Structure 1
Amino acid sequence: MAAASGVGSMPGESFDEAQRAVLGVLGEAAGGVPHLVEVPGRGITAGMLGRALGLVSDLGIDLQPAGWRLLGDSGSSGVDHRRARSLLAQDLDGLEELAQGYAGAFKLQVAGPWTLAATVEKPRGDKVLSDVGARRDLAQALAEGVRTHVRDVRRRLTGADRLVVQVDEPSLAAVMAGQISTASGFGRHRTVHPPEASEALGWVLAAIAAEGAEPWVHSCAPGTPLDLVRGAGARGLAVDLATVDAAGHDVLATALEAGETVALGIVAATDPGADDGVTDTALVEQVLRWLDMLGLDPEVVGAQVVVTPSCGMAGASGAWARRALSLAAATAGHLPG
């Protein structure tokens, strides 16, 4: 049967409350894949970038008014980088306590190398994206950090029989299209060509696979090159179904036919309103229509489908976040396969 999961971020300011909600809904659902939540409402060190940079110990990093910045060697890290690492450690302690006795699949998330390169600054300004050597160093440091992270989580969640690591790359399409602004705002960084884009992403995905975890890549952005992502080593593709173009649908179909995972973001990430009319029946019909459009038999590929919200839910209400996860779980439970 199909499975259900979340994308990553949850609303509010309490890690324990958000993690308990995810474990409660997805951990008890048949085929559910609960995840380590991100709660960016606690501040920038708890957001997607802060969480990923908290895994990087080989580079010095600090936080400036313009955002995160590389400094050099690890001994020069600023207080905010140390806070990000400490907060991640606290969250993992909390997860270990809340997930005692849990057995099943579990998912982690980390910002990918190209999203970091497009947002983190070099020591003397401008994005890491502007420097080939700096973006290589950051990608390789991230790969090693993720490797250590997977080992740590596996040690804490001894009952997890399937560990997934979702690499979030919302900026990949813009990086490859030359759409990332320079520091001045008057120019754009040069396009990153497919071989380099694939190589850097591949380092992170290979590190995940080497630790026995399942590498996925997620992006809600239109135009994400899913063929390149899959070629870099992703064995799961997570998308907002509404943003996928014709070429993307073909790649998703190919992935399903190859026995790989496709996570379909079809549940609204924010509350659509009191009279939204959203039901698991309507969502099941949406998935079945999509599979029919691709010419795929739900009985054959249904078990490889994961139903999720369309994107992270940091901007949702707590009530809608729980309902969205429940809708995803109910939808997955009604799908064949």
Structure 2
Amino acid sequence: MTQDLRAGGGGPSASGIGSLPGSDMPAAIRLVFDGLGGAPGVPYLPELPARGVGADLAGRGLALLVDLVAEVAPSGWRVADRPGRDHARALSHLRRDLDQLEEHTQGYEGPLKVQAVGPWTLAATVELKHGDKLLADPGACRELAESLSEGVAEHLAELRRRVPGARLVLQLDEPALPGVLRGSVPTASGFGKLRAVEEPVVRDTLRRLVETIGESAPERVPVVFHCCAPDVPFATFRGAGAAAVALDWSLLTTRQDETVAELVEAGVGLYAGVVPSLDPAAKVPLRYQDVVDSVLALRRVGLSARQLAEAVTVTPACGLAGASPQWAGRAQRLCLDAARALADVD
């Protein structure tokens, strides 16, 4: 249920999508916990892609794989025969990040969200050793998903050891999934498109990952599926066992209203990306009440303001890696202030 995602056992909350600007992880962790470390905040392990190779979305996901390694080729990440410098760099980033998180969270008790790239976005990004992207090979996709499932389960177990007071939430990032379902992912050459993957195959792969994580955990770990692209596959995520779906609120269309209402009524939460991810160009400052109004505009789907407030975790529209440090901090405070205001909605 949505209440499993909350800082205080129910009601609206606030969080971030994951990425932040800069390369200073201790400072990023402090920013997150200073902004979201109190109720109803859901702090998270930051991602700092500005650090380069291995700190990007795909690199962090590849660092989690079991018995699969990759290297950086001129065209991007590619499956490799043995661990090399690029793989070692990705592992090093992740291990240092966990060390610094553990140091900062001594005695912490409360929710903690961690992010990992989903199997379909990873398959649409990484190339085989000799050939096209992993997405072109159904067998390679299955192997990748199994490896990622095992690696994520181990990652969560490591976080439990390091932050024993944390109630973990897992976010799986699937920005490429609409393209996987449509058949619009470019081939490695860029001259063609890879064949669409059937929706039941996509859904079942994601569901197995969720089940693997659940079976390996001593307590339930809610899984949030994040997709900041248009045409979020809500039904696929719901069928895969999503506890919540994270999305760019500005991309919601009226034809999706009924689907969103069904999600909320079924107890699936919404990570509502209503705060801009980049510094706003407007001279008029964004207020937390503007954020609240954006959330409550979804009453058009027939839900009450209270139903919406209970279902929502307020977040930026997407990651904050491209924002200024000042806006990154301000954006998180806006999310938290808006969540507190939503708690008072009747």
User: Which band: TM-score by shorter chain?
Assistant: over 0.9
Structure 1 counterpart of 2:309: 302
Structure 1 counterpart of 2:157: 151
Q: Does 1:320 align with 2:320?
A: no
Q: Does 1:58 align with 2:67?
A: yes
Alpha-carbon distance in structure 1 between the residues aligned to 2:307 and 2:252:
22
Structure 1 counterpart of 2:336: 329
Any gaps of 5 or more consecutive residues in structure 1?
none
Given the alignment, which residue of 169, 172, 178 partners 1:167? Answer: 172
Inter-CA distance 221–128: structure 2 relative to 1 (3 Å threshold): same
Q: Does 1:259 align with 2:267?
A: yes
- 1:123-153 CA distance string (max 9 Å, x none): 1032001111111111110011001011111
Structure 1 counterpart of 2:5: none
Aligned positions of 1:100-249 closer than 5 A: 100-160=106-166, 162-210=167-215, 211=217, 212-249=220-257
Structure 1 counterpart of 2:86, one-letter code: D
Alpha-carbon distance in structure 2 between the residues aligned to 1:175 and 1:18:
32
Alpha-carbon distance in structure 2 between the residues aligned to 1:15 and 1:251:
38
| RMSD of aligned residue pairs (Cα, Å) | 1.4
Alpha-carbon distance in structure 1 between the residues aligned to 2:148 and 2:65:
6
Alpha-carbon distance in structure 1 between the residues aligned to 2:125 and 2:162:
31
Inter-CA distance 276–115: structure 2 relative to 1 (3 Å threshold): farther
Q: Does 1:42 align with 2:51?
A: yes
Residue range with higher mean Cα deviation, 4-13 or 250-259: 250-259
Structure 2 counterpart of 1:257, one-letter code: E
Aligned-residue offset at 1:273: 3.0
Alpha-carbon distance in structure 2 between the residues aligned to 1:247 and 1:82:
45
Tell me the number of residue pairs that the alignment of Structure 1 and Structure 2 aligns.
Answer: 331
Structure 2 counterpart of 1:70: 79
Alpha-carbon distance in structure 1 between the residues aligned to 2:267 and 2:95:
35
Aligned-residue offset at 1:304: 2.5
Q: Do 1:9 and 1:314's aligned partners in 2 also have CA atoms closer than 8 Å? A: yes
Aligned-residue offset at 1:301: 4.4
Matched-pair identity in %: 44
Aligned-residue offset at 1:47: 1.3
Structure 2 counterpart of 1:65, one-letter code: P
Alpha-carbon distance in structure 2 between the residues aligned to 1:300 and 1:130:
42
- 1:238-285 CA distance string (max 9 Å, x none): 110111233433232222212221110000000013614310011111
Alpha-carbon distance in structure 1 between the residues aligned to 2:257 and 2:156:
30
Alpha-carbon distance in structure 1 between the residues aligned to 2:112 and 2:47:
14
Q: Does 1:275 align with 2:280?
A: no
Structure 2 counterpart of 1:56, one-letter code: L
Q: Do 1:237 and 1:252's aligned partners in 2 also have CA atoms closer than 8 Å? A: no
- 1:11-48 CA distance string (max 9 Å, x none): 011111111100110003x2100000000010121111
Q: Do 1:11 and 1:314's aligned partners in 2 also have CA atoms closer than 8 Å? A: yes
Taking structure 2 as the reference length, what is the TM-score of the superposition?
A: 0.92
Alpha-carbon distance in structure 1 between the residues aligned to 2:202 and 2:86:
29
Q: Do 1:225 and 1:248's aligned partners in 2 also have CA atoms closer than 8 Å? A: no
Any gaps of 5 or more consecutive residues in structure 2?
1-10
